[in-house]
Amino acid sequence: MSYHHGVDGGRDVFERIITLQGELDETQRAQLLQDASKSPVTRTLGVSADIRTRCSISDEYTSGSPASYETDLRELSIPNIDPD
C-alpha cells in the first residue's frame, strides 16, 4: 500500500495492490475484491481519502507470513503513528 498526500487541498490517496492466489474463477475474484472494498479499514479511510485498488493474479499458491498489524505499520511511512 502507498499513500499520497492530496495536493492543493485535494483528497489524499491510498493505493493498494491485492494479490489473488490459487484457482479462482471470475465470480470468486470479483467477490473477493468487492469484499475488500467493504472492509472496516477501507470504509474508514475512504471517508477522507480516495482508495485505488489494483489486482494482481497469481495461479500459484505460496504460503507467506501471516498478516501483522505491527509489520504493516512499520512498512507504512505515515508520520506520527505509534504501533502501541
- The whole-number pLDDT of residue 3 equals 85
3-state secondary structure of 45: helix
Show me where the domains of the chain are located: 2-63
pTM greater than the 0.85 cutoff: no
Q: Which positions ≥6 away from 33 have C-beta within 8 Å? A: 18, 20, 53, 55
Positive or negative: CA dihedral 41, 46, 49, 54:
positive
Provide the residue-wise pLDDT of the chain in tens; the chain has 84 residues: 788 888 888 899 999 888 888 888 889 988 988 998 888 888 888 898 999 988 888 766 555 666 676 776 677 666 665 655
* CB atoms near residue 12 (< 10 Å): 14
